[in-house]
Amino acid sequence: MTKPPADPDSGCFLQHLKVERRLAERTLAIYGDALARLETHAAEARVPLREVQVHHVRRWAAQLHGAGLSPRSIALHLAAWRGLYRWLGRQGAVKLNPVDGVRAPKAGKPLPKALSVEHSMLLADHHDQETDPLLDARDRCMVELLYGGGLRVGELVALDVHASDRAAGWIDRDSGDAHVLGKGSKRRSVPAGKAALEALDAWLSVREQLALPGEPALFVSNRGTRLTASQVRSRLKRRALAAGLPTHVHPHMLRHSFATHLLQSSGDLRAVQELLGHAHISTTQVYTKLDFGHLSKVYDAAHPRAKRSS
């Protein structure tokens, strides 16, 4: 907090939030900081709080952005200011709320996190000596399908051992393709990959020791029933720690890694779109941003215009 708000209107508004709205102390502190900034801006502009206009608020919001505040922080400031003038309006102290219609800049979507090729291989090749060999075979197969086929965790746990009218997904061992039911109930087929098929064979050779009789699910828990997405996340987290990876790993990170590494190798955005099952190419294009560092290295090494004169 920069300093406590000094204006009587700000103080009364904060008291209203504390007593009548019963806001948490942390929220009150955030509001207090935002109102103190508002007072500072108003003092520098030599305008009383009750006479602040829309153009003032727009300029001050721009100054917050220029000072390096994140879009979320600016939005919190504007919410506090808007709340003050809404409260003053109910008191009859102001006619218009100068913050209405002023919006914070949009926050950029965070880029998906992907593992490096080295860490992906380390995770896929890891054999956990401290866990049950049956569970290790199952977990290794799951990792290979998540990373080797780019499956969503929901698609993974929905896989059945055999193809049927009721099956949401299955793996055709003859063709080497995984058939899954993705978002919007859209079916797609993706190559499972040699390593995934080998891991699948290893898992299927011991699966019956865990699965209950008649259980159709490909991946089962130690109770013999279909594995849940939550259980997959827990097992993957444990496996990543055992493999010595320096970051928390979740199933979707392996899907991101699949897409990023495939794009690095092929540069074929349309093919990656089809394999991921994205309805729109714009969804897949996020991986072009993620891959920018790799592309920059390729450019620096290969393009004549990138080479500096000695």
| Catalytic residue list | 152, 183, 252, 255, 278, 287
What's the one-letter identity of residue 103?
Answer: R
Contact 115, 123 (CB under 8 A): yes
Alpha-carbon gap, residue 20 to 234, rounded angstroms? 43
Contact 5, 35 (CB under 8 A): yes
Q: Measuring CA to CA, which residue among 203, 222, 113, 198 is closest to residue 159?
A: 203
